Amino acid sequence: MTFDIPNNHIQIGGRKSKLAVVQSEIVKSIIESKYPELSCSILALSTLGDNVQSKPLYSFGGKALWTKELEILLLEEMEEFPKLDLIVHSLKDMPTNLPDEFELGCVLDRQDPRDAVVMGLGLPYKSLSDLPDGSMVGTSSVRRSAQLMRHHPKLRFESVRGNVQTRLKKLDDPETEFQCLLLAAAGLDRVDLGHRITCRLDAPEMYYAVGQGALGVEIRKDDPVMKSLLKTLEDKPTTYKCLAERSLMRSLEGGCSVPIGVQTNYNSETQELLFKGIVVSPDGKEFVEGQIIDKVTSNEEANQLGVRLSEILVKNGAKKILDEVDFERINQRPENTK
């Protein structure tokens, strides 16, 4: 298969962090391996989410925190920056409602979607249940802290920002207040820091974020050539799972900072997708869980499954929880804990 691409060159854009660059390089490698006649180059750019590190993620509202600057370059070149052909995102950070000019071209390379516990160097603990009452856990995610307040009410949770290396440096500082961090397992694995993981969290203790562990490739809607190329790269089971997850979040009108967790499993033999979801209040005291299973053989069926699960969750009270989310109260201290 050949594609009419000027100079057989594809300009990839992504964020500037080490993890983001590694992810852009993964997509570059996938394209060049399948199509040796094509060459790719990578532009790494800082975004609002990268540049403002002093505020917790939830305070931004969270719906285009990591994407806007790069999307401008999908439309046109600016100053010294070239026009992009595609943007590589951590899919969990990619808004479920994209601007009209753009679309999700494909989903690639989903690694372990679970969240991981990373203990401070030298500490004897492995899991959260090992920690003494009152221990401080660092996370930038209301989804993580909300779920864990349900299961570990005697722990404390505080926001910690920065790229993976910056967060680990804060954790390992001798003067740190944190005993451990909660991070995406896939991010640690991709930058060869999987050895720092002391525990990987499974549902129902921790449902993972929508799209977590997967790469999302964003393109212009008016670029059929790039769309056709990317369609040849996608993995169908991964795509179905992630589209269902994103459809759920879209239906619940949630940004990437809200307390919605998911777990999806696709059986390629029966073509059935088992989809579980949870919505949790930031203090962990209220929650709604639901699940659905059905045959999924197309992107549209995957999207519909997400809508159907959202209806189940809303019927059970999820909308009320989301409507009452007050992000200023996310870091409430558990009762009776100093």
Place of tokens 């926001």: 159
CB atoms within 10 A of CB 59: 14
Active site residue 235: no
Q: How far is residue 102's CA from residue 227's CA, in Å, rounded to a whole number?
A: 11
End-to-end Cα separation, the chain, in angstroms: 64
Q: Which two tokens stand for residue 165?
A: 């290396």
Which residue has tokens 């060869």? 192
Q: Which amino acid is at 197?
A: I
Cα 174 to Cα 156: distance, rounded to the nearest angstrom = 19
Chain center to CA of 137: 19
Q: Which residue from 17, 12, 28 is spatially nearest to 83, judged by alpha carbons?
A: 12
Beta bridge partners of residue 262, listed in sequence order: 208, 277
10 Å CB burial of residue 124 (0-12, 13-18, 19+) is exposed
Given 50, 85, 93, 283, which residue is catalytic?
93
| Residues in contact with 320: Cβ distance below 8 Å, sequence separation at least 6, in sequence order | none
Phi/psi of residue 277, each to 5°? -145, 160
- Cα distances (angstroms) measured from residue 74 to each of 56, 78, 81, 166, 221: 28, 10, 11, 29, 10
**β-strand 287-295 against 272-280: which pairing, if any?**
antiparallel
Alpha carbon of 158 to those of 100, 133, 176, 180, 258: distances in Å? 36, 15, 12, 11, 16
Instruction: Find out whether 219 and 226 touch, Cβ atoms under 8 Å.
Output: yes
Closest CA to 322 of 295, 262, 282: 282
Residues catalogued as catalytic: 93
